[in-house]
A and B are shown apart, each in its own frame.
Chain A
Amino acid sequence: DVKVTQSSRYLVKRTGEKVFLECVQDMDHENMFWYRQDPGLGLRLIYFSYDVKMKEKGDIPEGYSVSREKKERFSLILESASTNQTSMYLCASTPTGNTGELFFGEGSRLTVL
């Protein structure tokens, strides 16, 4: 089975802190994604990556950056956390060439105080 692991299920940070959210997948998938989930808004794409060292902005990239140095790992970085970034963050991956079904991690719930 595909396994997508997010490093932290729950985080509490202070405004202005730098936050790292880590995601690792074990199925050699080329494509990886970071989504943000908020009530009433569904999932919104922050960034995605088609390959190592490649990244593209999604629909809401402001305030976020990403890093993909290795194929299996995709990191989301909040350079200076703000209270409006309090949310559930979901990582997902998919291989190139399939129907595009995403395989999700369990999510990281971030609270910024």
Chain B
Amino acid sequence: AQTVTQSQPEMSVQEAETVTLSCTYDTSESNYYLFWYKQPPSRQMILVIRQEAYKQQNATENRFSVNFQKAAKSFSLKISDSQLGDTAMYFCAFRGGDYKLSFGAGTTVTVRA
């Protein structure tokens, strides 16, 4: 399995502020996909955002954006204008040449009112 590292076990942010989650990965492949998944408390995992490695432009989905640094093998997630519904565990994931995803350990994000 590819190694995906999330170094922040927990993050706390005030409502309406911005929080950035870090993720690094290790691979020798040149073409791959990166994902951020969200797992709300007691609810199923859903995709937040994806990035294709061959695309230089950083992906954006509404308040969620990534900073993809291919040479550094870094893939951070920025949540802008945080909302209470953003409270969840966030997982960074890597997919190489097959359909298997490797996941990081997760970061628990708590949005404070």
The reply to whether A45 and B105 form a contact with Cβ atoms under 8 Å apart is no
* Number of residues from B at the complex interface, CB < 8 A: 24
Please tell me which one of the listed residues A42, A45, A58, A107 contacts residue B104 in the complex, with CB atoms under 8 A apart: A42
Give the interface size class of chain A: 20 to 34
**Which residues of chain B from 27 to 79 have a CB within 8 Å of any chain A CB?**
33, 35, 37, 43-47, 50, 52
The reply to whether B33 and A99 form a contact with Cβ atoms under 8 Å apart is yes
The reply to whether A31 and B45 form a contact with Cβ atoms under 8 Å apart is no
**Which residues of chain A from 22 to 58 have a CB within 8 Å of any chain B CB?**
31, 33, 35, 40-45, 48, 50, 58
Q: Mark B77-113, 1 if CB is under 8 A from A, else 0.
A: 0000000000000010001000111111110000000
Q: Which residue of B lies closest to A93 (CB)?
A: B99
Residues of A near any B CB (own CB < 8 A):
31, 33, 35, 40-45, 48, 50, 58-59, 90, 92, 94, 96, 99-102, 104-107
